[in-house]
Structure 1
Amino acid sequence: MSYIIQSTEKVRSIGSEYETKALLYLMNFRLDSNEINYYVIDFFNDLTGMSSMGDKLWDIQSKASKNTNAKALGREMVTLYKNYMSSLTFNHYILFVGGLAKTIRIDNNKNFFGIENVTEKALKSITLGLKEESQSKTYIDSTKVTDENVENFLKVVQIVVDDKKNSEYVKSIIKTSVKLLPSDEVLDSIFDEVKDKQSLKKNSIVENIVINTSHEALNYSRHLTGEEIRLMAISRIINRNPLDIGVPASFYDIIRDLPTHKKKDYVLNGQIGVAKAISNKNNIDNFWIFFESVYFVTLENPDVNVNAIFDKLDKNLMGNCPEFDLISIKYFIATVKDGIL
C-alpha cells in the first residue's frame, strides 16, 4: 500500500529550535541512537530517524509549548497516530515537548516515559484530545479512530520532556573530555548551524507525493546524516571544514616531492580516511579521543611540522581508529594545524 506525504510545513523559530533539540536527542540520548543513520526532516513528521538500510523508523512530533495540558497533549499526537495507522511500519512513536502541566505525570521527575507514568485522569483527557483532533483531520480515515486503535497506539507512544539547554545538546555530539569542549557561545553557534541546515531542508515542496517504501524518502533530499552534523561541530572547533576542496598548506611538506598524480592520490586518500572516521558512529568515541590528542599536541607545538606532531602522538590512540592509515592521519593533522594555528 502507498503512503501520501501531506501537511508539511515551515515552522516559526521556536518550533525550529525544538525540532533541532529532537534531532540531537535522537542522535545522542537514546540507547538505540547508534542504530539511526538518517534524520528525515518534515516528511513523515517533524522528524523521523531512519536506520542505514531504511528499514527501521523513529517517528518524532515536536512541540515547543512549556505547560501543555493533557487534552492538548493528545491533540499533539495526531501525526504520530496517522503514521501508526498508515501502511508503513514505524518502530517508535515519540512526542518531544517543551514542558507539561504537573497534573499529567505520576512521577514528575521522569522526562522519558510512556502511559505507565500518566495519571488515570490525564490519560482520559489525552485520549479525548487525540480522538477529537484525529476526527478533524482529512488525512485520517475517521473509521480508524476507534477506542481500540487509540488505546493500542497510546500504549506504544513515548513522551520526552526537554530538560536541556541548546549547548548541552551539542555537547553530546562531542564525545570527549571537557578539556576539548568549546565555550557555550560556540556550542550555541553549532546548534544554530544545525538548526539552519535543518530548516533549509524544508525549502523544497513535497506535498501529495506518494511513496511505497520508507527509504524512498531519501530521494527527496530532506535529510541530514550524523556524519554531516559531527562535521559541523568539528569545523567550528578547528575553524575549517576538514573535507573542504583544496590541500591544507601544512600537508604540502608531505607531498612536495611526489609526482603530480601521486599528490592527488595522497590528498584523496587523506580525505577518504577523515570522512570514514567521522562517519563511523560505532567508533566515534575513539575518533573524538584521537581528535582531542591531535588538537592539544598541535597547540602545544605550534612551530613543528606535521611529521613532528605525528611522532608525538600516542600510537595506541591511532590504532583505535582503523579508518585512518598513515597518510590520512597526517592529512588530518595538517587540517587541524592549519585551522587552529
Structure 2
Amino acid sequence: MPYTIKSSEKLRPSGAEYETKALLYLMNFRADSPEVYYYVVDFFNDLTGMNRTGRKMWDIQSKGAKKSSPRALGKELVTLFKNYKSEFDFNFFVLFLGGVSPTVRIDQTKNMFDIKNIQPSALKKMKQGLIEECKDKTYIDNTDINDKEIDEFLNKVQFVIDDKKPHEYVKSIIKTHKKLIPNEEILNAIFNEIRDKQASKKNASVVENITIETTHEALNYFRHLTTGEIRLLTISRIINRNLFDKGVPLPFYIILNSVPDERKKDVILESQLALSKALFNKNNADIFWNLFENVYSTIVNNPKDNVNVLYDKLDNDIVEQCYDFDVISLKYFISLIKDGIE
C-alpha cells in the first residue's frame, strides 16, 4: 500500500501559531487525546497524530483565516480528502480553523461540530469548493471526484474552531494543577517554544516525492514530536532548568557523596532512566503531574530542607502510585526541581 508525499509545505509564519494550537488541541482537548503519542509534522498533512504503535492516525489540516467562507473551507479540505482516498487508513479527519463566516454554522455556539451543524446552502458551496480544488490537484484521481465519494468523506470530517489564546492551550498541558501554572508570560513563552520546535521539524529532512509502504515508516524521518517531549519542555520552563542537560543537580550530592565511587555513574544513569520512563509514560501521566505538583509545592514551602527531609514530606499515596521511581531516583527528581527553582 504505497503512499507518496506530495505538497509538503515550507513554514508559513502566519500559520505556525494555528498549527501549534492544532497540536495542543489534539494533545489535550479530545476524548481520545490520551491515545495520541506522536505528532507528525508536515508529512501527510499539516499535522498527523499517531498512537504508540503508529497504526491509528488523526489527520489535521489547519487554516488561520478568521472568517473563512464555505467555498474556502471546501478548498482547504483537499489534503484531507487525498488522505481519505489513499491506501492508508486514517481514522479521523479534522479541519482546525481560525474562524468561519456567519453563514456556515447552524448553531453558532458550537466550536466542535460535523456537517450536521452546517447550513445546507453553505454545505453546497463547501462541496463546490472541494470539487474545484480536487480538479486543480494532480495528486487527486478524477475518478474519485463524484458526489458519492465527496459525501462519504464529508460525513467523516470534524470541524474545530479555535476559541482560545496560546497561553490557554499551554495550561491544558498542566491541566488542573494550579500550583504549577506559571504566569501568562511564561505560558506564552512555552507556547512559542513548542511552535518553534514544531516548525523546525519541517526542515528535519526533505520528504517531497518519497514513497512509504506503511504508516509507521513516516517516523523514520523524524519529523515528529511526542507527548513526552512537550511535557519535558513545559516542565523545564516551569522550574527554569532542563531536566537532562546541566549535569548532576547540586542538591543530589547529599546522596551521591555516600555512594561508592564505582557506583556513582550507574546511580546517575539509573535515576535519569527512571525519570525518562516517568516523563514519557502516557498511561501514568496524571499521576506524574500529581507527583510533580507535590514535589514542587513541598520544596517551595520548605526551601531550606535537604532532599532526604523533602522526600519524607511528600504525599506517600502519590509516591506509591508513581511506580517508575524508586527511592534514589525520586530523590534525584526532587534534586532537579530544587536546583531549578532555588
Shorter-chain TM band: over 0.9
Q: Distance in 2 between matches of 1:338 and 1:156?
A: 49
1:245 Cα offset (Å): 5.5
Tell me what 2:71 maps to: 71
- 2:13 is aligned with 1:13: yes
Tell me what 1:56 maps to: 56
1:12 Cα offset (Å): 2.2
Tell me what 1:278 maps to: 279
Tell me what 2:215 maps to: 214
Tell me what 2:322 maps to: 321
Bigger mean CA offset, 231-240 vs 255-264: 255-264
Q: Distance in 2 between matches of 1:54 and 1:126?
A: 32
Tell me what 2:108 maps to: 108
Q: Distance in 2 between matches of 1:12 and 1:58?
A: 22
Counterpart residue identity of residue 317, structure 1: I
Q: Distance in 2 between matches of 1:154 and 1:303?
A: 60
SS at match of 1:337: helix
Q: List aligned pairs for 1:136-175, cutoff 5 A.
A: 136-175=136-175
Answer yes or no: is the 8 Å Cα contact 2:179–2:297 preserved in 1: no
1:14 Cα offset (Å): 2.2
Answer yes or no: is the 8 Å Cα contact 1:243–1:274 preserved in 2: no
Q: Distance in 1 between matches of 2:126 and 2:305?
A: 64
Bigger mean CA offset, 305-314 vs 215-224: 305-314
Counterpart residue identity of residue 306, structure 1: V
SS at match of 1:6: coil
Counterpart residue identity of residue 274, structure 1: L
SS at match of 2:159: strand
Q: Distance in 1 between matches of 2:42 and 2:19?
A: 10
Tell me what 2:242 maps to: 241
Q: List aligned pairs for 1:28-67, cutoff 5 A.
A: 28-67=28-67
Q: TM-score under structure 2 normalisation? A: 0.98
Bigger mean CA offset, 60-69 vs 310-319: 310-319
SS at match of 1:234: helix
Counterpart residue identity of residue 254, structure 2: D
Q: Distance in 1 between matches of 2:101 and 2:291?
A: 44
Counterpart residue identity of residue 65, structure 1: A
Answer yes or no: is the 8 Å Cα contact 1:34–1:281 preserved in 2: yes
Q: List aligned pairs for 1:278-317, cutoff 5 A.
A: 278-317=279-318
Q: Distance in 2 between matches of 1:178 and 1:108?
A: 31
Tell me what 1:27 maps to: 27
Q: List aligned pairs for 1:251-270, cutoff 5 A.
A: 251-270=252-271
Structure 1 consecutive aligned stretches of length 4 or more whose deviation exceeds 6 Å: none
Tell me what 2:82 maps to: 82
SS at match of 1:138: coil
Instruction: Tell me the alpha carbon deviations over residues 36-64 of structure 1, each in whole angstroms, 9 at most, x when there is no partner.
Output: 10000000000000010011000000000
SS at match of 1:39: strand
SS at match of 1:172: helix
Answer yes or no: is the 8 Å Cα contact 2:41–2:201 preserved in 1: yes
Answer yes or no: is the 8 Å Cα contact 1:38–1:223 preserved in 2: yes
Q: Distance in 2 between matches of 1:179 and 1:306?
A: 20
Q: Distance in 1 between matches of 2:2 and 2:108?
A: 40
Instruction: Tell me the alpha carbon deviations over residues 266-312 of structure 1, each in whole angstroms, 9 at most, x when there is no partner.
Output: 11121111111111122211111111111111112222210011111
| Structure 2: runs of 5 or more not aligned | none
Counterpart residue identity of residue 160, structure 2: V
Q: Distance in 2 between matches of 1:149 and 1:176?
A: 43
Tell me what 1:339 maps to: 340
SS at match of 1:335: helix
1:11 Cα offset (Å): 2.9
Answer yes or no: is the 8 Å Cα contact 1:63–1:96 preserved in 2: yes
Q: Distance in 2 between matches of 1:45 and 1:153?
A: 16
| Structure 1: runs of 5 or more not aligned | none
Tell me what 1:119 maps to: 119
Counterpart residue identity of residue 31, structure 2: L
Q: Distance in 2 between matches of 1:243 and 1:320?
A: 23
Answer yes or no: is the 8 Å Cα contact 2:62–2:97 preserved in 1: yes
Q: Percent identity?
A: 57
1:199 Cα offset (Å): 0.6
Answer yes or no: is the 8 Å Cα contact 2:3–2:86 preserved in 1: yes
Answer yes or no: is the 8 Å Cα contact 2:11–2:202 preserved in 1: no
Q: Distance in 1 between matches of 2:27 and 2:317?
A: 28
Counterpart residue identity of residue 141, structure 1: D
Bigger mean CA offset, 225-234 vs 238-247: 238-247
The number of residue pairs the alignment matches comes to 341
Q: TM-score under structure 1 normalisation? A: 0.98
SS at match of 1:179: helix
Instruction: Tell me the alpha carbon deviations over residues 113-169 of structure 1, each in whole angstroms, 9 at most, x when there is no partner.
Output: 111111110110010000000110011111211111101000100000000000000
